[in-house]
Structure 1
Amino acid sequence: MNYTILVTGSAYGTQNASTAFLFCQSLVKTKHKLYSVFFYCDGVLNANSMTTPAIDEFNLVQAWQELNKKYNVKLYVCSSAALRRGILDDEEASNLNLKKGNLAFCFQLSGLLELAYSIEICDRIIQF
Structure 2
Amino acid sequence: MIDDDARCPCGTGETYAACCGRFHRGRPAPTAELLMRSRFTAFAAGDEAYLLASWHPSTRPSSVDLDPSLRWTRLDVHGTTGGGPFDTEGGVEFTAHWRGPGGARGTQRESSRFRREDGRWFYLDGTAA
Report if TM-score (shorter chain) is over 0.5: no
More strand by share: 2
Q: TM-score, normalised by structure 2?
A: 0.31
Q: TM-score, normalised by structure 1?
A: 0.31
